[in-house]
């Protein structure tokens, strides 16, 4: 079966949102970061943001493109929805601002957001280390199905690990397997749950 992957572009016009915000908080050189949904528009309207350098697209927890211009900028402006991606930017130790075209809200992301996130991860790591039964989540979605990685983890953990194949996994579904102490997500790291630790966050 042939598969075709088409990027989902947002129909929300970001120009009016950019023109409404107060750019005075953005001091010095600005690194522009976005996701595939707004990529074309950010390139098109970059001139509306003075002293900006296009950092590129951020993918999941991969901030390699923004990192490549880290020494050239004083802060980052993330244009997109949600806080998952900009939290990763906070790890680069520069001020991070978020412009959400869908809500037309503009804010500086507090470093405390990253601190709270890392605290949550440490709690999950401790839970993982003390777990007697661990569920390993395997996505059925293309480009997220890390079966080989999941099987390697299962081999490493032995009899206390159980494999779960699913398209979507929510807290509600996790409640159906209460005998599991914690789940390991081998798919998209955007899942945020007290019962699920992302593969990238496992103790080294």
Question: Can you give the pLDDT at residue 173?
Answer: 75
Q: pLDDT at residue 29 above 70?
A: yes
The token duo for 133 is: 């039964």
Rounded to whole angstroms, how far apart are CA atoms 179 and 126?
A: 18
User: Which two structure tokens, joined as six digits, stand for 79?
Assistant: 């244009």
For the record, the structure tokens of 99 come out as 């412009």
pLDDT, one tens digit per residue, over 70-104 is 999 999 999 998 887 888 889 889 999 999 999 99
Q: What is the pLDDT of residue 172?
A: 54
What span, in angstroms and rounded, lies between the C-alpha atoms of 51 and 29?
Answer: 5
**Domains of the chain (ranges, CATH numbers):** 14-112 (3.40.50.11850), 122-201 (3.40.50.11860)
Q: Is 204 exposed, middle or buried (0-12, 13-18, 19+ CB in 10 A)?
A: exposed
pLDDT digits (tens, 9 = 90+) for 163-192: 998 877 665 577 788 899 999 999 877 677
What DSSP string describes 123-165?
HHHHHHHT-SSEEEEEE-STTT--HHHHHHHHHHHGGGEEEEE
- Residue 46 CA to residue 29 CA, distance in Å, equals 13
């Amino acid at each position: 079966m042939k598969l075709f992957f088409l990027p989902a572009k947002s129909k929300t016009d970001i120009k009016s949102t950019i023109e409404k915000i107060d750019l005075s908080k953005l001091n010095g050189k600005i690194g522009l970061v976005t996701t595939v949904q707004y990529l074309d528009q950010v390139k098109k309207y970059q001139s509306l943001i003075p002293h900006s350098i296009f950092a590129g697209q951020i993918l999941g927890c991969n901030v390699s493109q923004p990192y490549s211009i880290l020494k050239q900028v004083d802060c980052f402006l993330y244009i997109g929805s949600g806080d998952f991606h900009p939290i990763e930017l906070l790890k680069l130790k520069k001020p991070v601002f978020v412009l959400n075209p869908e809500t037309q809200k503009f804010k500086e992301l507090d470093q405390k957001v990253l601190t709270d996130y890392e605290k949550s991860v440490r709690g999950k790591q401790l839970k993982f280390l003390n777990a007697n039964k661990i569920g390993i989540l395997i996505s059925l979605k293309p480009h997220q199905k890390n079966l080989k990685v999941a099987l390697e983890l299962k081999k490493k953990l032995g009899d206390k690990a159980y494999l779960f194949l699913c398209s979507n996994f929510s807290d509600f579904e996790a409640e159906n397997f209460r005998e599991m102490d914690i789940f390991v997500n081998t798919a998209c790291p955007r899942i945020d749950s007290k019962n699920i630790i992302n593969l990238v966050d496992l103790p080294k």
